[in-house]
């Protein structure tokens, strides 16, 4: 059995132990972080990659099968994919570039002006992206820096408010710490049926998402709809499987399950929205509908992966 351990030091000085077990005969894989299991897989006998979050860093463990049949293992932090931490990292990198432009002086004055314009545009776009992916309370540049430097992670649990309007519905949330209520907040979504979060997934009472808050001032916090908890992700998966079975009654239930699981493994959990809303037309759901579902199968690599896994 292959057994490896890595130590990951985050940007805040935290120390995290990541471990891997890979059975020589069975191929079973278990990945754990700080003694907590984060991934389990079975009969892994070919190259494969697993992704998981440590704090707000997207980490990857790669199992690479060599020509002689043995495996090489690698742990790395993905600093390129679009995550809240990487967006903040890119903003900080932009600031460093600005300082270099100032030092260059008059020789790069035109470039410096262009950079300031791009910086302003990037900041505007960042605000739009943040509003499209999360709920932020107490937003300011300084508070966002403090969240990065001092923030602690917790869970935000969603609840339907009774104070909904004709065009908008209010959803409240509670930040939880040690199973006790810590902070409240709310936001509005269009009063559609079903209600849709900014991630494009349907809202359900009790949905949970990762959040980050300032311990000294919990009113300053951010709830990220693109980091659902395992409980919420499992609900999305079940909804996708249920609708796949319902829309394709001639397909065996086992193959329907396989199609959904393969899609999620191929493209990540956000792809499940296309399965959940595959029976909707674009007028009913512009973002996820019959057309977007059909486009999945126009990707030859995606279709090939499903065909190979789900004979």
Domains of the chain listed by start with CATH number:
2-77 (2.40.128.180), 85-228 (no CATH), 231-309 (no CATH)
Beta bridge partners of 183: 175
pLDDT, position 120: 47
Averaged pLDDT in 10-residue chunks for the chain of 311 residues:
88 89 90 91 93 90 92 91 79 71 58 52 53 81 88 93 81 80 86 92 95 91 92 94 94 92 90 96 95 94 89 73
Angle subtended at Cα 108 by Cα 103 and Cα 113, rounded to the nearest 5 degrees: 100
pLDDT, position 117: 52
Among 56, 14, 62, 9, CA closest to 39: 62
Q: Note the pLDDT tens digit of each residue in 160-169.
A: 988 766 789 9
φ and ψ at residue 236, rounded to 5 degrees:
-60, -45
Q: Note the pLDDT tens digit of each residue in 216-258.
A: 898 999 999 999 999 999 999 999 999 999 999 999 999 999 9
pLDDT, position 179: 56
Q: Note the pLDDT tens digit of each residue in 13-50.
A: 889 999 999 998 889 999 999 989 999 999 999 999 99
Beta bridge partners of 5: 19
pLDDT, position 126: 54
């Amino acid at each position: 059995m292959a057994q490896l351990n890595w130590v990951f030091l985050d940007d805040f000085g935290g120390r995290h132990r990541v471990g891997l077990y890979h059975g020589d005969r069975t191929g079973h894989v278990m990945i754990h972080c700080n003694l907590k299991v984060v991934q389990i897989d079975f009969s892994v006998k070919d190259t494969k990659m697993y992704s998981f979050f440590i704090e707000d860093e997207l980490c990857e463990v790669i199992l690479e099968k060599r020509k002689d049949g043995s495996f090489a293992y690698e742990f790395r932090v993905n600093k390129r994919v679009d995550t809240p931490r990487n967006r903040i990292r890119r903003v900080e990198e932009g600031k460093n570039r600005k300082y270099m432009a100032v030092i260059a002086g008059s020789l790069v004055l035109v470039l410096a002006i262009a950079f300031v314009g791009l910086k302003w545009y990037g900041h505007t776009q960042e605000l739009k992206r943040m509003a499209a992916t999360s709920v932020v309370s107490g937003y300011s540049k300084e508070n966002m820096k403090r969240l990065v430097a001092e923030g602690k992670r917790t869970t935000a649990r969603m609840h339907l408010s009774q104070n909904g309007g004709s065009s908008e519905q209010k959803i409240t949330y509670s930040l939880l710490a040690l199973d006790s209520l810590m902070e409240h907040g709310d936001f509005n979504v269009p009063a559609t049926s079903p209600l849709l979060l900014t991630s494009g997934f349907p809202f359900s009472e009790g949905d949970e998402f990762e959040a980050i808050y300032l311990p000294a001032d919990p009113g300053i916090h951010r709830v990220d709809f693109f980091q659902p908890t395992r409980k919420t992700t499992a609900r999305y998966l079940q909804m996708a499987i249920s609708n796949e079975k319902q829309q394709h009654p001639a397909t065996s239930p086992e193959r329907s399950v396989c199609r959904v699981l393969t899609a999620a493994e191929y493209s990540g959990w956000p792809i499940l929205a296309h399965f959940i809303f595959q029976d909707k037309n674009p007028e009913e759901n512009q973002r996820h509908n019959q057309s977007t579902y059909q486009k999945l199968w126009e990707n030859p690599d995606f279709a090939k992966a499903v065909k190979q896994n789900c004979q």
